[in-house]
Chains A and B, each alone.
Chain A
Amino acid sequence: MQIIESPKEYDAIIVGSGAGGGMATHVLANSGLKVAVVEAGPFFDPKDPKTQTQLKWPWESPRRGASSTRAFGDFDMSWGDWKVDGEPYTTAEGTDFLWWRARMLGGRTNHWGRISLRFGPVDFKHKDVDGMGDNWPIGYEDVKPYYDKLDKLVGVYGTNEGRYNDPDGYFLPPPKPRLHELYYTKAARKVGVPVIPSRMSMLTKRINNERGVCFYCRQCGRSCNQYADFSSSSVFMIPALNSGKIDLYTNCMVREVTTDKEGRATGVSYINKDDRREYKLKGRSVVLGASACSSARILLNSKSSQHPNGLGNSSDVVGRYLHDSTGLGRSAFVPQLMNRKNFNEDGTGGMHVYSPWWGYDQKLDFARGYHIEIGGGFGMPSYGFGFNATEINKFAGGAVGGYGDKLRDDVKKVYGAFIHLAGRGECIARHDNRCEIDPDVVDQYGIPVLRFDYTFSDQERMQAKHMNNTFESIFDAMGAVTLGEAAGPEKDYGLLAPGQIIHEVGTTRMGDDPKTSVTNSLCQLHDADNVFVVDGGPFVSQADKNCTWTIMALAMRTSENIVDQFKQKNL
């Protein structure tokens, strides 16, 4: 079967339409470059009533939202999750890794938590503090102007707190805390844990005339039909498409970056999933935003005589230094919240307050830190609601078990009386933690798949132990009943599996030395100067901040540099 080549030549071919690819599309298309975007999933618009799940009721799903077909439940707006049909991945023996892929325009930004945290000055140079991992070749001052522009362009609520490593920005006003968040605030501060308004990219206030304003349904995970939360689909891709400035190829899965005799990129080859044929696009530059691991996979599969180890991989670093946030969660029953008066406390998606890391000056038995996310309140019931409802009577009073009116009362008296805390921390990036090409397995398009090989170190385990202790002390200070026992060392103190926090980054890390890094500090491959990476791949370390805001700030910086290089005729 012949490969079909398009005669058109683009200035830039962007692979992927999530946070990084979306930002690259926004900058490059608006600069007048000829841009193609190749997305492995179908078109998606959060406004489309046919696919919309926002404001649906649980009874509209015959399974009441259970996770039978979507891992985070029927109403979650991610097409594709830990599994994508016909597109497997494998893990090295004795290791574990979970990899979330959203196959749709906008990728994972359609359902993400919208927690939007800048990295601080310490986060870029943490090796200077504790000798672990590596410093970034850039510092906070290099990225700050892009964070500033990003805040205004996309919108994020929060407050300027003057905290050195949680830098201020251009924030929309935050919503007032919910009742359980007030209980949390009081208790956390009692044990020395700071609490400040959360920083989330929902529009509590208008930022332009194109996007709507938050109407407080708490369903950002379903993607907002008013475009009042940040999804790359609604904020970047659909406006670019409507302006006629880009060619969008959906359902097209990039196999490799093609190169010429000099080893420079000439474009991409991709499989059209609809007709299962291979096509080629020509481009003067290629911008990879397929996600940290997918971009690494594309590079490793792009072998040629000039790049026998895969494109950009003369260092053997592509796929290495893979790291996800650490994470675990604990829950508690709050007796003071029993039998409370009902009111609508949906609020924005996720939390209204959070705890940034506070332990910089403490002597601890682990490196780095974590932040705390808070959940609770009168949530909308879905499948699983009411399971083992009477168990809590051990603490709330009354018989365990039963039926009839007593059971009804049991359910209602503890509705909204629980609080959930989740830690999200920094994992030290290690050379050994990696994804590589599995020598034996291809996906349904004949493309060799990734094999993950990732283990935790004691740094992460001790951090998890600390999370458990902190959460329990906050619950105690609240007068709440901690539910379940803390996991012990045999279970890594309850750490969730690598990949499960969905913050995987580091696979094409940046650096000044081509022997130990894949891209330079402008996210440009050392080995091919017309290939760029705009997803989480170039991260040297992840900090205890979620990665999306930094992916977008760096993607903006990289893309503006691409525009400059075109102007200077370097590309």
Chain B
Amino acid sequence: MDRRESLKSLLIGTIAGATLGASACTPEEKTTGPDIEQAPLYGRLPEEIERDKQLMSEVFLNEHELTTVAVLCDIILPATSTAGSANDAEVPAFIEFIVKDLPSHQLPMRGGLMWMDSESNKRFNKLFKDATDAQQIEIVDDIAYPDPDGKKPEMAYGIKFFNLMRNLTLTGYYTSKIGIEDLGYMGNRPNVWDGVPQDILDKHGMAYEEELLPKYVDQSKRMDIAEWDDQGNLLT
């Protein structure tokens, strides 16, 4: 399997794409709002732009750590026939950013990655990233499930770390374009809501109440200016 090879090429793009195109601020007319010459895409204030730029100029995970993250990401969410993998969705770059943004993740991330290497060295005399796919999976299978009865106490650190990796991988993936398509979220676009589709109502044994139906918004008249009689009855 060529998982490792494809990871290598993906990683280059991921890191290169990690810098956001924010530029310096110059003063502006006061009535046009805060001094933002060229805001990044998501409506930041000057101090937020500065913070983002600062974080993006810093490096937390070294190349070895980042490669290990990438290996784990694609074990957690490999590609399917219809959706890209966690690496396709640039999850390692997200993880590199979020551990700088939320520093409480840093120690568990760094220590956990080191634990993975220790465990791999112990078992196979190899760093985790250099272990074979089967060897990697052998370790992952030991830490991917909870151990409520404490049957394998020596795996407790790994279980905790894998939980963090899984959480960050899922969140990074399902907040990416690829992930949102895979999930099937269909909103965040202008539309006209007119209730739950009939087939879905039927499937759930639900129906809109007859007496309320005339009161709900008539979307064919949404552009008509509202007028009421003195009793508060809508006339338009």
Q: Which residues of A does B touch, CB under 8 Å?
A: 42-45, 48, 50-53, 55-66, 68-69, 74-75, 79, 152, 155, 157, 159-160, 168-179, 182-183, 186, 197, 204-209, 213, 215-219, 241, 248, 250-251, 336, 340-348, 378-389, 399-405, 407-408, 411-412, 415
Contact = CB atoms under 8 A, between A and B. Distances in A.
Contacts of A169: 232
Query: Which of A69, A250, A403, A408 counts the most chain B CB atoms within 10 A?
Result: A403
Interface in B166-201: 166-167, 170-177, 179-180, 182-197, 199-201
Contact of B223 (A206, A412, A415): A206
Contacts of A341: 199-200, 203
Given A45-B33, A51-B33, A205 B224 contact: yes
Contact of A48 (B32, B78, B190): B32
Interface centre among A50, A51, A172, A384 (most CB of B within 10 A): A50
B184 A62 contact: no
Interface in B76-105: 76-78, 80, 83, 94, 97-98, 101-102
A160 B188 contact: no
Interface in B198-236: 199-201, 203-204, 206, 208, 212, 215-218, 221-226, 228, 231-234, 236
Given A51-B36, A347-B193, 18 more contacts: A59-B177, A62-B94, A64-B98, A171-B234, A176-B195, A197-B215, A206-B225, A216-B192, A219-B188, A343-B186, A344-B193, A378-B186, A381-B183, A403-B166, A407-B77, A411-B183, A412-B183, A415-B184
Which of the listed residues B36, B183, B218, B231 has the most CB atoms from chain A within 10 Å of its own CB? B183
B139 to A, nearest CB: 12
B42 A400 contact: no
Contacts of A56: 41-43
B189 A60 contact: no
B215 A64 contact: no
20 contacts: A43-B30, A48-B33, A53-B43, A57-B188, A152-B226, A155-B226, A170-B228, A175-B193, A175-B216, A206-B222, A206-B225, A251-B30, A336-B204, A345-B196, A380-B187, A381-B175, A386-B167, A403-B76, A407-B76, A408-B80
B146 interface: yes
Q: Which 10 A-B pairs have the closest CB atoms?
A: A386-B170, A176-B195, A401-B145, A346-B187, A58-B175, A342-B184, A173-B217, A215-B190, A64-B175, A216-B193
B24 interface: no
A293 B52 CA distance: 33
B190 A344 contact: no
A369 B146 CA distance: 42
B187 A207 contact: no
A257 to B, nearest CB: 25
B166 A241 contact: no
Nearest to A402: B144
Chain B CB count within 10 A is highest, among A45, A178, A401, for A401
A408 B77 contact: yes
A208 B225 contact: yes
A59 B190 CA distance: 19
Given A43-B30, A43-B31, A56-B41, A64 B171 contact: yes
Contacts of A209: 225
Contacts of A343: 186, 196-197, 200
Binding site secondary structure of chain B = loop
Nearest to B42: A60
B185 A174 contact: no
Nearest to B223: A206
B156 interface: no
A152 to B, nearest CB: 7
Contacts of A59: 175-177, 180
A51 B188 contact: no
Nearest to B33: A43
B171 A387 contact: yes
B114 interface: no
B185 A404 contact: no
A63 B102 CA distance: 9
B56 interface: yes
A136 B234 CA distance: 32
Contacts of A399: 145
Given A53-B43, A169-B232, A204-B217, A62 B56 contact: yes
A207 B226 contact: yes
B158 to A, nearest CB: 12
B223 to A, nearest CB: 5
B127 interface: no
A247 B146 CA distance: 63
A217 B232 contact: no
A65 B97 CA distance: 13
Contact of B222 (A51, A182, A213, A248): A213
Given A62-B20, A386-B171, A182 B196 contact: yes
A64 B176 CA distance: 8
A142 to B, nearest CB: 19
Contacts of B80: 405, 408
Interface string B38-73: 010111110010011001100000000000000000
Contact of A216 (B30, B191, B200, B234): B191
A176 B196 contact: yes
Contacts of B43: 50-53, 56, 75
Contacts of A197: 212, 215-216
B140 interface: yes
B228 A176 contact: no
B199 to A, nearest CB: 8
B10 interface: no
